[in-house]
Amino acid sequence: MPIVDIHTHVYPPTFVDLLRSRTTVPYIRNFPDAPDSARLVILPGEDDPSMPSTSRGRPIGPEYYDIAEKIAFMDMHQINTSVISLANPWLDFLPPEEAGEAAVRINNDVDGLCAKYPGRLFAFGTLPLSGPVETVVKEIERLKSLKHMRGVIMGTSGLGNGLDDPALDPIYAALEKHEQLVFLHPHYGLPASVYGPRASEYGHVLPLALGFPLETTIAVSRMLLSGVWDRFKNLKVLLAHSGGTLPFLAGRIESCIQHDGHLKNAGKTQNRRDLWDILKTNIYLDAVVYSKAGLKAAFEASGADRLLFGTDHPFFPPLEENANEWHSVTTNYKAILASFANDQLAVQNVFGNNATRILNLHT
Ligand code: URA
Ligand code: ZN
């Protein structure tokens, strides 16, 4: 059974150089109190000076940038093919005048990494979203010419005002026209105030387990409410972490829409595509949710032919020294196998057939 990992990140060498050249988030730095171990500091709030530098962000080793490590990880977990993507925060932080050129450099770099392992690596490109709209559209068009690119990865900030911003319409139009799937991935989480004054005692649990999925859920709900899929009926979006909490909350979102007087008066409760339709037509979900309960919601919402295996490598490594298998991977394997215990075809679809079909990975 071919196994395809569609949620797996890299920071290619050109991006590592960029992060090393910076002193504000996001950055990579060797702090004086631990000069031999570099730290990757990317999330909002990870740079809090009250935190000792040795626990800021996360350690970064070659698993983040050495493509041979990716292949070794794939071999260890019987993964045949990976669709790699630049990890957050992508190019969101770049000054507008640098974004276009950086996207070209990094996308070429990632395409080149894929070329080293024919048939084993494909990629989602990255967009210069802090730059002018025309530059973003140009890069979407250019990505079509790169052999290994199969869509784009994007965060939830869009051009700075979120994914319900009408200024994104030319970008959505270009993605739809060029049949580029968007892999939508969180980064910004929720405002730090919701985690409370004791947040620093809780490591990364609240932002990663809850901030990330709620960020995705809110971003997609804003796309829905602003009519993105009424205007772009063929726009395809793959949601990270099984859609955040979208499959679980879809009923509530739809009910709130139907009971909203403001929307009714504005004529927005009629003649619209509902979330259930979009979940089964435009949205794909990764299977990175680590439980049967989460997979069940994803399956109910979108169907087993729209669920795709992923690992989130190189994030969530085992914390034990010298561990071989990654728990973050085997937990998802087991959840998929248990969820579709009586349906071997569904298992094969989720592990690889769906990705091969949807992303055209036939070699
Ligand atoms: N943490 C991140 O910052 N990104 C991921 O993709 C996973 C965990
Ligand atoms: Zn990820």
The DSSP code sequence of 229-264 is HHH-TT--EEEGGGGTTHHHHHHHHHHHHHT-HHHH
What pLDDT band is residue 344 in, cutting at 50, 70 and 90? very high
Q: Give the closest residue (by CA) to ligand 1 atom 4.
A: 88
Distance 184 CA to ligand 2 centre (A): 10
Domain membership of residue 40 (yes or no) is yes
Domain membership of residue 209 (yes or no) is yes
Give the model confidence (pLDDT) of 126-166 as tens digits: 999 999 999 999 999 999 999 999 999 999 999 999 999 99
Q: Are 137 and 180 in contact (CB under 8 A)?
A: no
* Ligand 1 atom having least distance to the Cα of 240: 6
Distance 263 CA to ligand 2 centre (A): 34
Interatomic CA distance for residues 176 and 95, integer angstroms: 27
Interatomic CA distance for residues 111 and 12, integer angstroms: 10
Site to substitute for ligand 1 among 19, 43, 208, most atoms within 8 A of C-beta? 208
Domain membership of residue 252 (yes or no) is yes
Interatomic CA distance for residues 95 and 17, integer angstroms: 16
| Domain at 229, CATH number | 3.20.20.140
> Per the structure, how many domains does the chain have?
1
Q: Is 42 a pocket residue for ligand 1 (Cβ < 6 Å)?
A: yes
Q: Give the closest residue (by CA) to ligand 1 atom 5.
A: 315
Q: Is 87 a pocket residue for ligand 1 (Cβ < 6 Å)?
A: yes
Domain membership of residue 177 (yes or no) is yes
Closest CA to 289 of 280, 278, 277, 301: 301
* Ligand 1 atom having least distance to the Cα of 42: 3
Distance 315 CA to ligand 1 centre (A): 6
What pLDDT band is residue 340 in, cutting at 50, 70 and 90? very high
Distance 84 CA to ligand 2 centre (A): 10
Closest CA to 150 of 121, 130, 117: 121
Distance 311 CA to ligand 2 centre (A): 8
Give the model confidence (pLDDT) of 184-201 as tens digits: 999 999 999 999 999 989
Domain membership of residue 71 (yes or no) is yes
Q: Distance of CA 143 to CAs 88, 108, 138, Å? A: 19, 9, 9
Neighbours of 111 (CB within 10 A): 20
Site to substitute for ligand 1 among 312, 316, 332, most atoms within 8 A of C-beta? 312
Domain membership of residue 307 (yes or no) is yes
Between the two ends of the chain, the Cα-to-Cα distance in Å is: 16
Domain membership of residue 225 (yes or no) is yes
Give the model confidence (pLDDT) of 43-83 as tens digits: 888 888 777 777 789 999 999 999 999 999 999 999 999 99
Q: Could you give the percent of the chain with pLDDT greater than 90?
A: 92
Cross-sheet strand order for the sheet of 27-30:
27-30, 38-41, 58-59
Q: How much is the pLDDT for 235? A: 98
36 pLDDT more than 90? no
Q: Is 146 a pocket residue for ligand 1 (Cβ < 6 Å)?
A: no
Closest CA to 8 of 124, 141, 174: 124
Interatomic CA distance for residues 283 and 155, integer angstroms: 16
Distance 143 CA to ligand 2 centre (A): 21
pTM above 0.90, yes or no: yes
Distance 7 CA to ligand 1 centre (A): 11
**What mean pLDDT is reported for the chain?**
96
What pLDDT band is residue 332 in, cutting at 50, 70 and 90? very high
Q: Could you give the percent of the chain with pLDDT greater than 70?
A: 100
Give the model confidence (pLDDT) of 205-252 as tens digits: 999 999 999 999 999 999 999 999 999 999 999 999 999 999 999 999
Domain that holds residue 203: 4-358
The torsion of the CA quartet 267, 271, 274, 277, rounded to 10 degrees, works out to -170
Domain membership of residue 20 (yes or no) is yes
Q: How much is the pLDDT for 34? A: 80
